[in-house]
Amino acid sequence: MTPAPLPAPALPPGPEGPPLLLGTSAFGQNERGFPVFDAYWEGGGRAFDTAWLYGHAYGPGCCERTFGAWAQSRGVEKDVWVLAKGAHTPECLPDRVECQLTESFERMGRDTAALYMLHRDNTDIPVGEFVTVLADLVDRGLIGAYGMSNWTLERVTEAVAYARAHGLPLPAGISNQYSLINMVHPIYPGTETSNDPAWRAWLAEGSARLYPWASQGRGAHALAHPDELRTGPLAESWYSRTNAARIHRAGLLAERTGISATGIALAWTLSQPFPVVALIGPRQPEEVRDSLAAAAHRLTAAERDWLETGEGDLPAR
């Protein structure tokens, strides 16, 4: 069966833009966010990841307001490509979707988003109720396309089937965790990974584009030595012997290519045999530039597989 084509609005615009989404969750203050956003924009980045919940513990809406203030101050409100998310647990309910989206628009000073995703799933709700609400937002032009973040493959395929059966727009994107190192324990409650054979096979069919978060391994590749993964703050969610070995191999390939180990991890994520637009979370302008440089690099299939499995020797280009 030939897979349905990907909806056009689900891809950040322009061949000049890197296949990245800059995360805004760390920037609830203009003085912290503006330099990072500027560095990203100057490097060709145009797509941003936002969410109703970002910064909620410090001041509800602070991250969306900071992003909106930056876009307005730079005069680029019409040029940015926005992934918005909402309806996070415990408000993951169909009747909370539009009111939170409206509030997000007010905070950011805009009236549309290219892509909107449910931030979590609520398995007590039939998928059809969520799909119906999201499809209505597309039909009314409030969002260009919709998707799901931290959903299981079973629920996503059920949503696709419902949309097809009822002649509604299909989900265009999935934002689950995906990186060279595996998430061995959820970072946050309710989070899901797409890094398993079933998900990879489904994504390879072209049914939806993957927008992975923690796409560079949550900073693990910046550790001074792979052994630090076992004892440091990342241990609970990321430590395994397999992951430590992958970090080591990424470091070896980094030495050969001149790209940072964190950059190699990003290149691995972007070199998958299915469509990927990676969410990145740099905190400083220099980290932005490092990610932008890596985003232009593609691994060979042999390099990609060697980083993951360690089978054989470091491939020669």
Domain count of the fold of the chain: 1
CA 195 to chain CA centroid, Å, is 13
126 within a domain of the structure (yes/no): yes
Strand partners, 85: 117
Q: What is the pLDDT of residue 252?
A: 96
- The yes-or-no verdict on residue 8 having pLDDT over 70 is no
Distance CA(156)–CA(175), nearest Å, equals 11
CA 145 to CA 176: how far, in whole Å? 17
pLDDT tens, residue by residue, 37-71 = 999 999 999 999 999 999 998 899 999 999 999 99
Q: Is the pLDDT of residue 9 over 50?
A: no
Element (H, E) at 251: helix 241-257
Residue 102: its pLDDT value, please? 98
Average pLDDT over residues 256-284: 96
Inter-residue contact 9 to 83 (CB < 8 Å)? no
- Residue 84 sits in which domain range? 19-174
Whether 191 is covered by a domain: the verdict is no
pLDDT of residue 312: 87
Whole-Å CA distances, 72 to 23, 39, 68, 106, 107: 18, 16, 6, 13, 12
pTM, whole model, 2 decimals? 0.93
Check pLDDT > 80 for residue 20. yes
CB 33 within 8 A of CB 66: yes
Residue 2, judged by CB atoms within 10 A of its CB (0-12, 13-18, 19+), counts as: exposed
Per-residue pLDDT tens digits for 196-248: 999 999 999 988 999 999 999 999 999 989 999 999 999 999 999 999 999 99
For residue 229, being part of any structural domain is answered with: no
* Prior bond of 282 cis (ω within 30°): no
Q: What is the pLDDT of residue 314?
A: 87
Task: Tell me how far CA of residue 249 lies from CA of 261, 306, 313, in angstroms.
Answer: 9, 8, 10
Q: Does residue 237 sit within a domain?
A: no
66 domain residue, yes or no: yes
Task: Give the Cα separation of 76 and 167 in Å (integer).
Answer: 35
183 in any annotated domain = no
pLDDT by residue (tens digit) across 81-90? Answer: 999 999 999 9
Q: Is the pLDDT of residue 7 over 60?
A: no
In a domain, 259, yes or no: no
Q: What is the pLDDT of residue 6?
A: 37
- Give the number of residues written for the chain: 317
If you average pLDDT over residues 77-103, what whole number do you get? 97
DSSP state of 221: G
CATH of the domain at 133: 3.20.20.100
Residues 6+ apart with CB under 8 A from 256: 314
Supply the pLDDT for residue 17: 63
Angle in degrees, 0-180, between the axes of helices 285-295 and 30-42, rounded to the nearest 10: 30
CB distance 129 to 94 below 8 Å? yes
Least confident of 5-9, 26-30, 81-85: 5-9
pLDDT at 13: 45
pLDDT in the model for residue 12 = 54
